[in-house]
Amino acid sequence: MSFFLRTRPSSSLLTNALRPLRTLPPPRSSRTIHTPPNFSGLNCVITGASRGIGHAIASHLASLRASCFLVGRDEATLSSAAANLTASLARPECTPDISYIVIDDVASTKSWEEIAKACPRPHIVVNAAGVSQNQVFLRTGAEEWDKVLNTNLTGTMLGCRYAARQMLRMKSGGCIVNISSLLAIRGGKGAVAYAASKAGVLGLTRALAEELGPKGIRVNAIVPGYIETDMTAAMNPAVVKSVRDRIPLQRFGTVDEVAEAAVFLATNKYANNCVITLDGGMSAAVSTSLNANAKMICFDSDAFQLSDPPKGGSSQVVDPH
Ligand SMILES: NC(=O)c1ccc[n+]([C@@H]2O[C@H](COP(=O)([O-])OP(=O)(O)OC[C@H]3O[C@@H](n4cnc5c(N)ncnc54)[C@H](OP(=O)(O)O)[C@@H]3O)[C@@H](O)[C@H]2O)c1
């Protein structure tokens, strides 16, 4: 286990975005609406930043001049992610400040001690590391349950604890953004451990928002629906079509759309226990199983295979995520 850290510029500059809530001025007119936020002087720690949603959030924060620490498990992937971000965001007037921290596992306390050593003064912490699941409940063993719960829920809890401890020492407030999932708030097959872990993330967010809010630490969450990443790339094409048909906007979301929500949560001074659902309207839709014309997909719980329904047999729409 090792971590790499580039020397960082020291700055105590804090923007309004992260001052304690009670010291903030009352809302004014549309002064800030069209002004991009400036995160210069703010340190952001982003887990799951080697790819997908975490990587896109790091990219957006770095483009707004934050100093970003990408957290992941694989040095080669992380170093190339950091180098690519630095190259793509470099401007004559400003070089992005992007470092990376290699850890064993977000669910390990030792990993968070290393993160605290590398970044003792975080202003924004994004808990995006996560693993998916594709197994029916009765075949979900204790090992798989532990892996999903540890990564998604314990990892997020440890990230929040690191953020809270450091931000309280700094006495400057801060913002935590947790990535939950649509499965935290609605049903779906083959992902009981995942759903439980992501519902836990929302409970954690809500409780911490109340506990830490008075200290100026805002705790928020994003509830993505189906987003184009490696996590969804492995889905069966028939399932992709079935899911897409149930999304009112008729497409999966992009990582940049999720990253924009993270920037909003980091910027908006009144966002605390703010939960942004980004699912193209899927959570509002009536299940396509009510639509007699929809192509049905059969769920064979013995083989856990997706197939067309047998003639005359009952059929269900599968939610694989
Ligand atoms: N994509 C979606 O449709 C969707 C929908 C709802 C919620 N989400 C949530 O959004 C978050 C990001 O998902 P994604 O789609 O971007 O996933 P992804 O492309 O599969 O990336 C997952 C990231 O998590 C990291 N990670 C996994 N297990 C880890 C562990 N034990 N310790 C440290 N890092 C670990 C991976 O790092 P390595 O490179 O080291 O593997 C990777 O950077 C997850 O929490 C996911 O549950 C995604």
194 is catalytic: yes
Predicted pLDDT of residue 9: 39
Mutate to test the pocket of ligand 1, among 3, 46, 53 (most ligand atoms within 8 A of CB): 53
Q: Which domains can be identified in the chain, with CATH numbers?
A: 41-236+249-285 (3.40.50.720)
pTM confidence score: 0.85
Atom of ligand 1 nearest to the CA of 53: 16
Tally of CB atoms within 10 A around 143: 8
The DSSP secondary structure of 19-47, one letter per residue, reads: S-GGGSPPP-SGGGTTSPP--TT-EEEEE
Predicted pLDDT of residue 197: 98
Cα(111) to ligand 1 centroid in Å equals: 17
Predicted pLDDT of residue 204: 98
Task: Write down the H helix ranges in 96-212.
Answer: 109-118, 142-149, 155-170, 192-212
Cα(190) to ligand 1 centroid in Å equals: 18
Q: pLDDT tens-digit profile of 35-89?
A: 889 999 999 999 999 999 999 999 999 999 999 999 999 999 999 999 999 999 9
Average pLDDT, the chain: 85
Residues paired with 276 in a beta bridge:
222
Q: pLDDT tens-digit profile of 252-305?
A: 999 999 999 999 999 999 999 999 999 999 999 765 433 333 333 334 443 344
| Mean pLDDT along residues 141-149 | 98
